[in-house]
């Protein structure tokens, strides 16, 4: 019969969990969902094991570093929002110094892994991604503009550029289109969540669009970005020479996404708004995952 963990063991386990939580693993998973298929498309099949390891480890470390710095800077905001008050730095489970050290180490790991196993371009892009999220979004945009998630979301688009550069050593129009898909996906993905938690953002002083604009205006913006996102996803067909499976799949996914977006607009002023907004939020994650799955399998289909 296994003995119960000691108090010291419990403390160590809790501390490890706190350090991991600072990296926001679920966000890292979502970023890798776009990076991995991009590798397959760039390699026109299976990438080398060396490159794959570099993208997975280096990309995950870059995202973890950016998220850690975000956790450090936003600890005051996180502490006053019910959705985030239990994050490690917000509740004092990890010190400011420890958070900065972890973020710095992860930054160095990301750059070194990508530089040594792939090329300087991929490593440089990882540093740009960390700076965009940590400084551009977290420190400059988030607390100052309603367009914070629009331009700050560019950092979340960087994994596709990093993955493509790691495989090919260069950038072409294909990764740029993939970048734009994620860029235009970000607002209709995040604004529905902000609609539900608008009061928490208002209390924290964060000017998310749903905090300062009417629901009708937000819903209209969601629809505009959704249409552009769908159009850009279809533009990948002529730009990258995608096959019929991707074309049909992207069109069907885009249609379903638009249905969810229009349902949000139709529910403005009703009790169903938050429910339909969250349905779009969760549906947008499924959309991105399946769309990039189609991107990843396209090179293996041959038609």
Domains in the chain: ranges and CATH: 18-167 (1.10.357.140), 172-303 (1.20.120)
Examine the pLDDT at 5 and tell me if it is beyond 70.
no
Q: Is 118 helix (H, G, I), strand (E, B) or coil?
A: coil
pLDDT-derived band of residue 90, with 50, 70 and 90 as boundaries? confident
* Contact (CB, 8 A) for 215 and 273: yes
Q: What angle do CA 263, 269, 272 make, to 5 degrees?
A: 50
- pTM here is 0.92
Token pair 């498309």 is at which residue?
41
Give the pLDDT of residue 4. 54
DSSP state of 270: S
Token pair 């300062």 is at which residue?
212
**What token pair was written down for 4?**
């119960």
| Cα–Cα distance for residue pair 23/235, rounded to 1 Å | 33
Tell me: the pLDDT tens digits for 38-88?
A: 999 999 999 999 999 999 999 999 999 999 999 999 999 989 888 888 888
pLDDT-derived band of residue 101, with 50, 70 and 90 as boundaries? very high
Which H or E element spans position 80? helix 75-80
| Cα–Cα distance for residue pair 158/59, rounded to 1 Å | 9
* Contact (CB, 8 A) for 101 and 121: no
| Cα–Cα distance for residue pair 58/50, rounded to 1 Å | 12
Give the pLDDT of residue 153. 83
Tell me: the pLDDT tens digits for 60-71?
A: 999 999 999 999
Question: Exposed (0-12), middle (13-18) or buried (19+): which is 170, by Cβ within 10 Å?
Answer: exposed
Token pair 């977290």 is at which residue?
138
Tell me the CB-side half-sphere exposure of residue 105, using CA atoms within 13 A: 8
Question: Exposed (0-12), middle (13-18) or buried (19+): which is 14, by Cβ within 10 Å?
Answer: exposed
Tell me: the pLDDT tens digits for 115-167?
A: 999 999 999 999 999 999 999 999 999 999 998 988 888 888 999 999 999 99
Tell me: the pLDDT tens digits for 216-254?
A: 999 999 999 999 999 999 999 999 999 999 999 999 999
Tell me: the pLDDT tens digits for 265-294?
A: 999 989 899 999 999 999 999 999 999 999
* Contact (CB, 8 A) for 23 and 68: yes
Q: Is 249 helix (H, G, I), strand (E, B) or coil?
A: helix
Average pLDDT score, the chain: 92
**What token pair was written down for 262?**
């229009």
Give the pLDDT of residue 84. 86
| Cα–Cα distance for residue pair 203/215, rounded to 1 Å | 18
DSSP state of 87: S
């Amino acid at each position: 019969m296994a003995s119960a963990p000691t108090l010291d063991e419990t403390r160590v386990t809790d501390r490890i969990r706190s350090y991991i939580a600072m990296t926001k693993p679920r966000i890292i998973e979502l970023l890798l969902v776009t990076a991995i298929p991009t590798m397959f498309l760039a390699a026109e099949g299976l990438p080398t094991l060396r490159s794959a390891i570099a993208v997975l480890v280096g990309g995950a470390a870059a995202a973890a570093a950016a998220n850690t710095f975000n956790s450090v800077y936003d600890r005051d905001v996180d502490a006053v929002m019910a959705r985030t008050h239990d994050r490690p730095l917000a509740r004092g489970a990890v010190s400011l110094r420890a958070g900065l050290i972890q973020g710095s180490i992860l930054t160095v790991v990301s750059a070194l892994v990508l530089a040594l196993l792939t090329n300087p371009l991929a490593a440089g892009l990882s540093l740009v991604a960390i700076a965009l999220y940590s400084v551009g979004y977290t420190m400059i945009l988030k607390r100052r503009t309603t367009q914070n998630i629009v331009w700050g979301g560019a950092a979340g688009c960087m994994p596709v550029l990093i993955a493509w550069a790691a495989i090919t050593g260069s950038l072409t129009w294909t990764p740029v289109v993939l970048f734009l898909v994620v860029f235009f996906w970000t607002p209709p993905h995040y604004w529905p969540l902000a609609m539900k938690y608008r009061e928490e953002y208002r209390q924290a002083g964060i000017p998310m669009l749903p905090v300062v604009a009417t629901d009708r205006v937000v819903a209209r913006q969601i629809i505009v970005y959704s249409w552009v996102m769908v159009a850009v996803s279809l533009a990948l067909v002529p730009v990258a020479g995608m096959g019929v499976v991707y074309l049909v799949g992207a069109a069907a996914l885009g249609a379903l996404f638009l249905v969810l977006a229009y349902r949000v607009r139709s529910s403005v002023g009703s009790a169903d708004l938050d429910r339909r907004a969250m349905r779009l939020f969760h549906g947008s994650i499924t959309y991105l995952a399946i769309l990039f799955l189609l991107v990843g399998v396209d090179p293996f289909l041959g038609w």
